[in-house]
Amino acid sequence: MQKNDVMTEVRTRFAPSPTGFMHIGNLRTALYGYLFAKKHHGKFILRIEDTDRERLVDDAVEVIYRTLRLAGLQHDEGPDVGGNCGPYVQSDRKDIYDRYAEELINRGHAYYCFCDKERLDSLKDADGNRRYDKHCLHMNKQEIEKKIAANIPYVIRQNVPETGVTSFSDLVYGCVTVENKELHDNVLVKSDGFPTYNFANVVDDHLMAITHVFRGMEYLSSTPNYNLLYEAFGWDLPLYVHLPHIMKDKQHKLSKRHGDANFEDFLQKGFLPHAILNYVALLGWNPKNEVEKFTLAELVDSFDISGISKASAIFDEVKLRWLNAQYIKELPFEQFHSLALRYCNDTPTTPVDRELLNRLLQTRISALSDIPAAAAFLDRFEQYDLSLFDCKDAKSTAATAQSVLPSVLSLLENINRWDNDAIFHALEQIAEQTGVKKKTLLWIVRIALTGHVSTPGGASEMCMLLGKKAAVERLKYSLDRLNAV
C-alpha cells in the first residue's frame, strides 16, 4: 500500500553522506526534492547519513550546508534548523534503530548472524558472488545469548522471504517487479552497532513522515528489500522517485575524483551558482515547453515528476558555459564588477582601468575563469605572430598593415581628445584617406595594439584600455617589427 499524496502534506528529504564534496548529481537530487516539496507547499528535510564511520570526512557537513545555502535550497528541517522529527543526524539516532531492529527480530523479519568473514567467503560462487544462506536464521535463543555474552561479533540481517515476488511502482520508472528469491538477506545492523543504509533509510523515512523518496536510480534494485521492511513493520510505503544518473560520458558516471564533478569546483571555475542549478535542473527533466532559463521560483512552479526522464544524461560543460554566459550578461554591472575583481584581482598585473575592462568583459566571457586569458594581452604583448595581420575575412595583410600603420601612429600621437568616440572617428578618417576598408583598418589596429585575434573589445576600445602612452608604444613596436621583415 503506497501513500496517497493528496491526503498528506508532501515531505521530501535530501539525505547525503558527509563523505566529502557535494557531487553535482547529489545537488540535482536535492534540487528535485526541494522543487517538488515547494511546489506542493510541503517540507524539505535535510538528514545527514553518517552511519559509515570509516568514510566520514571532516567538514563535509559544512560543505553540505554551504552548498545548499549557495544554491538557495533552504531546508525546513535539519540538524542545524531543528524540527519535530529529529535528531536529523543518523549517528544520533542509534537507539532508535536498535529498538526497531529488535522489533523486527521479534517479528521474525530479521535475525542475528554470527558468521565470520571466512564462512561468508566460502559461500562465494565461481564468479565471486555470494548469497547468504540463512545459516544463522534458526539459531535458538540460548545459543544466541551465549554467543553475545561471549562477545562474538554479530550483525543483524533482514530475513527475506524465499518465495513470492515484490513489486512496487516508481513514479519515474513505473512498475518494478523482483522475485524474492533474487533478494539478499541484507545486513541491517553492522557489527559496530550502526545501521546500514538498507535499514536506516527505511526507519528514518518512515519516522520523518517522508512522502516522496527522491534518490539515485542505483537504489532501484534494492527498493524491494526496503519495501519488505516497510511491510514487516506494517508501515505505508512512500512514493518513490528514482532519478537517472548524470554521466561524464557514455560509460562513466560523473566521478568525484575527476575534480570537475562537484559544485564547489564549478564555482571555482567561475560559474554562477544559479547557472549551475538551472543547468542541472534541465539534465534529466524537461519543463514541457521550450524555456531554458528559470529562476528558482520558476523552477518550483514548473516542476513536475512526469517531466523526469528515465535515461541517464551526459553532463555538457559547453552548454553550461552558454547558460552561464547568459546569466553573466544579465548581472547588474556593479555586481559583475565586484565578482570579477574578487575572482581575479591579480590579473592583469598591468595597471588598467578595471571598470572599463570589466564592462568590456561582461558581455564577452562565459565564465569568470575566462578573464585571465581574455585580459592576458595587457600583460604580455611582445613577439606575437605577425601572421595575425593576415585575415581573409577582414581583407587584411601584413603589407597593408605596414602601409597604413604610420598614419595611424601619427594621428593617435597627435589626437587631442583621448576618448573612444574621438579615436574611433579618427580611425574612420584614416580609412577614408588611405582608401583601406574600415573593417580592415580596425583589424590591423587591433592586432597591432594587442597581438591577439580575439580581444575584449574593438580597436578604439583597446586604445582606451591601454591609454595613449602604451597604445602609441605598442603601435610603434608593431610597425618596427613589420618593417624589419
- Residues serving a catalytic function are 256
Considering the rule CB under 7 A, would residue 380 count as an interface residue with RNA? no
Considering the rule CB under 7 A, would residue 194 count as an interface residue with RNA? yes
Window 24 to 43, contacts with RNA (CB under 7 A): none
Q: Which amino acid, residue 216?
A: G
Considering the rule CB under 7 A, would residue 204 count as an interface residue with RNA? no
Considering the rule CB under 7 A, would residue 307 count as an interface residue with RNA? yes
Give 7 or 149: the residue with its C-beta nearer to RNA.
149
Window 86 to 105, contacts with RNA (CB under 7 A): none
Considering the rule CB under 7 A, would residue 351 count as an interface residue with RNA? no
Considering the rule CB under 7 A, would residue 304 count as an interface residue with RNA? no
Site string for RNA, 42-81 (x = CB under 7 A): -------x-xx--x--------------------------
Give 122 or 484: the residue with its C-beta nearer to RNA.
122
Considering the rule CB under 7 A, would residue 324 count as an interface residue with RNA? no
Considering the rule CB under 7 A, would residue 191 count as an interface residue with RNA? yes
Considering the rule CB under 7 A, would residue 377 count as an interface residue with RNA? no
- DSSP bridge pairs for 464: none
Half-sphere exposure of 222 (CA within 13 A, CB side): 17
Give 7 or 198: the residue with its C-beta nearer to RNA.
198
Backbone phi and psi for residue 192, each to the nearest 5 degrees, phi listed first: -85, 5
CB burial readout 7-23, b (16+ within 10 A) else e: eeebbbbbbbbbebbbb
Give 37 or 200: the residue with its C-beta nearer to RNA.
200
Q: What is the largest CA-CA distance in the chain?
A: 108
E strands present in 248-380:
313-314
Size (the chain), residues: 485
Work out how close the CB of 227 gets to RNA at its nearest, in angstroms, rounded to a whole number. Answer: 13
Sign of the Cα torsion 198, 201, 203, 209 reads: negative
Considering the rule CB under 7 A, would residue 312 count as an interface residue with RNA? yes
Q: Minimal CA–CA distance to 184: which of 155, 146, 148? A: 155
Integer CA distances (angstroms), 447 to 28, 133, 199, 292, 385, in order: 44, 76, 66, 37, 10
Q: Could you say which of 168, 240, 263, 443 contacts RNA (CB under 7 A)? A: 443
**181 vs 203: CA distance, rounded Å:** 24
Considering the rule CB under 7 A, would residue 131 count as an interface residue with RNA? yes
Considering the rule CB under 7 A, would residue 278 count as an interface residue with RNA? no
Q: Could you say which of 46, 220, 368, 412 contacts RNA (CB under 7 A)? A: 220
Question: What are the residue ranges of helices labelled H in 76-184?
Answer: 94-106, 117-122, 141-149
Window 248 to 267, contacts with RNA (CB under 7 A): 250-253
Q: Is 200 helix (H, G, I), strand (E, B) or coil?
A: helix
Q: Which amino acid, residue 337?
A: H
Considering the rule CB under 7 A, would residue 270 count as an interface residue with RNA? no
Segment interacting with RNA (CB under 7 A) among 31-39, 62-70, 409-417, 458-466: 458-466
Segment interacting with RNA (CB under 7 A) among 35-43, 282-290, 340-348, 405-413: 282-290
Burial class (CB in 10 A: 0-12, 13-18, 19+), 38: buried
Cβ-contact 449, 427 below 8 angstroms: no
Window 397 to 436, contacts with RNA (CB under 7 A): 420-421, 424, 427
| DSSP of 207-275 | HTT-SEEEEEGGGGGGHHHHHHHHHHHTPPBPEEEEEPPEESSSS-BPPSTTSSSBHHHHHHTT--HHH
Considering the rule CB under 7 A, would residue 187 count as an interface residue with RNA? yes
Integer CA distances (angstroms), 273 to 262, 299, 343, 419, in order: 12, 15, 14, 37
Give 122 or 129: the residue with its C-beta nearer to RNA.
129
Q: Could you say which of 35, 61, 178, 276 contacts RNA (CB under 7 A)? A: 178
**357 vs 362: CA distance, rounded Å:** 9
Give the cell for residue 149: 555474552
Segment interacting with RNA (CB under 7 A) among 65-73, 411-419, 440-448, 469-477: 440-448
Considering the rule CB under 7 A, would residue 120 count as an interface residue with RNA? yes
Considering the rule CB under 7 A, would residue 395 count as an interface residue with RNA? no
Segment interacting with RNA (CB under 7 A) among 3-11, 59-67, 77-85, 451-459: 451-459
Considering the rule CB under 7 A, would residue 122 count as an interface residue with RNA? no
Cβ-contact 226, 29 below 8 angstroms: no
Considering the rule CB under 7 A, would residue 221 count as an interface residue with RNA? yes
Cβ-contact 465, 378 below 8 angstroms: yes
Q: Could you say which of 69, 99, 310, 395 contacts RNA (CB under 7 A)? A: 310
Considering the rule CB under 7 A, would residue 108 count as an interface residue with RNA? no
Q: Could you say which of 58, 95, 118, 127 contacts RNA (CB under 7 A)? A: 127
Segment interacting with RNA (CB under 7 A) among 4-12, 68-76, 173-181, 330-338: 173-181
Considering the rule CB under 7 A, would residue 319 count as an interface residue with RNA? yes
- Could you count the other beta carbons within 10 Å of the beta carbon of residue 104? 22
